[in-house]
Amino acid sequence: MKNKDGKKDEEKKTEESKTPPPPPTPLAEIKSNIALIDRAVSTLEPRFTHRVLRSLTALRRRTDAVVLRNAIDEIYPKDSTTRKSLLSWLPGSSDSGSSMDIDSSGKSTPQEPVPEVEVYIRLVIIYTLLSSSESYGKALQLAKETGERILALNRRSMDPIAAKVWYAVDRAYELGGELADARPLLLSAQRTASLRHDDESQAALINCLLRSYINYSLFDQADKLVSKTTFPTSASNPQYARYHYYLGRIRVVQLNYSEAHRNLQQAIRRAPQPRTAPGFYQAVHKFFIVVELLMGDIPDRSLFRHPVLEKALTAYFDIVKAVRTGSLSQFQATLSKHSAQFTADKTYTLILRLRQNVIKTGIRRLSLSYSRISLRDICHKLHLDSEEDAEYIVGKAIRDGVIEGRIVHESGWMECAGQKRGYGPEVSDVFGRRIAFCLDLHNQSVKAMRYPLNAHRKELAAAEGAREREKELAKEIQEGELDDEDLGGDF
């Protein structure tokens, strides 16, 4: 019976150990994060601070003013000026003085935490205030004050938290409708971070400035910022992803499509998982698809079946189909149907450039279908305004090498040379040379792989004869039939 009871107890213990523990409360998580920040400052190990910041996104969704008020009461001593200043930013903190006195009775007064803890709590308060549109002004004031405090403290142990704070400052200005007013503060902070070799803050500030310039279509100033600054090589992957995304948007406006394609591809590779950051993943792919179309390529169809991208890229899939078929009427109908979405995504002006690609695709399809076609029919099939426009577009396509042919002005038609040279003696000669080369390569490969027949048997026979001679020589030496003269002088 004892063994059975012991087995039951062991089974219960194993079942209890297998069940995951309940997640900690927001208050307990904040207190553990503050302990990690203290440990990072005392041991000079920034990895503890990075661990705290990785949980910031999930924590701020579960945090409210009550949780923050209780956390500040337990962390800071009662007569601390930092405690009073932090509580003043929280809504409903005017009548909290009496409750604090009651809760703190009978407990040991805590010591004043390090400044990094204060900046971290300010960061959480900023995100809490940004969750409501009514407190955007208060969040903006706190963000300005926090940025000034970071610049005044000048502590290297605060660099990881400072990078998150500067992004929160930029976000507060943006939600408050004053994004342009944040540039002087961000530029000053970027210069200070560069002088202090604060790579994390410098990367975050460069991205914030590029976002501000691109939001107001100041692409020349954004390009000057990129040329005058050096993005830190030690920046994290999310910061690199944002930087490449902004670079791609700058390059596509400058008509440098190959460079824009490379930057957007790097942004996709360095971006977080699609489920983690779906908005960024969708925004990058929208510009990536438009750039591929401008380069003359057609995106892969499987891209539009991705579960995160399927809904967001519906309008872009219609544009891809219009460009692929070369139908100018379908392209214009799709553009007018989804113009609101393209304007919101800031890809409308780029998609307007695709009109020439649609016309070139249509002309290429006509050149493959007809050996000779009139300009009037081209104008009718491509829905162009006049025959003069059709003649100009066809001439430009011939000059650019899109199609092979010529325009006969007297008769008013286009002759396509590709159909005439599709078959004939030139093509047969080319194929004959290729076939002869392949056959010759095959014959030489077969000859190189041939070996003499039974060559290994000769080697085996020679080795066997040498082995027999050694045996006979050893036998004669043992019997004493050989002397020194027969063996050699030095043997």
- Which helix (H) or strand (E) segment holds residue 127: the answer is helix 115-130
The answer to whether position 183 is within a domain reads yes
Last residue of a domain, one of 226, 257, 290: 226
Give the three-state DSSP class for 412. coil
Q: Is residue 202 domain-resident?
A: yes
pLDDT of residue 100: 45
Q: Which of 203, 111, 114 is nearest to 153 (CA)?
A: 114
Look at residue 460 and tell me if it is in a domain. no
Average pLDDT over residues 199-206: 88
Q: Is 361 exposed, middle or buried (0-12, 13-18, 19+ CB in 10 A)?
A: buried
470 within domain boundaries: no
User: Distance (Å, rounded) from C-alpha 163 to C-alpha 144?
Assistant: 14
253 within domain boundaries: no
In 3D, which of 24, 27, 23, 51 has the Cα closest to residue 37? 51
**Domain housing 385:** 353-420
360 and 219: one domain? no
Domain boundary among 365, 391, 420: 420
Query: pLDDT higher for 355 or 456?
Result: 355
- The residue-averaged pLDDT of 258-282 equals 88
Domain match, 220 and 360 both? no
The CATH code of the domain that includes 378 is 1.10.10.10
Banded pLDDT at 245 (limits 50, 70, 90): very high
Q: Which of 6-10, 48-52, 301-305 has the lowest mean pLDDT?
A: 6-10
Give a yes or no: residue 431 inside a domain. Answer: no
Arithmetic mean of pLDDT, 439-467: 77
pLDDT at residue 419 greater than cutoff 60: no
- Token pair for residue 451? 């070996």
Q: How far, in Å, CA of 249 to CA of 260, rounded?
A: 7
More confident residue, 405 or 258: 258
State which of 226, 242, 261 marks the end of a domain.
Answer: 226
The type of residue at 176 is: G
Give the range among 51-65, 308-322, 325-339, 404-418 with minimum mean pLDDT: 404-418
340, part of any domain: no
Token pair, residue 189, equals 């902070």
Residue 410 has pLDDT above 60, yes or no: yes
Query: Per-residue pLDDT for 207 more than 80?
Result: yes
The pLDDT confidence band at residue 5, using thresholds 50, 70 and 90, is: low
Max Cα distance, the chain (Å): 122
What is the total count of domains within the chain? 2
Residue 50 lies in a domain: yes
- Which of 56-61's residues contact partners 24+ apart within 8 Å by CB, and which partners? 56/123, 56/124, 56/127, 56/164, 59/26, 59/29, 59/30, 59/33, 59/124, 60/124, 60/127, 60/128, 60/131
Q: In this predicted structure, which of 79-93, 207-221, 260-274, 316-330 has the lowest mean pLDDT?
A: 79-93
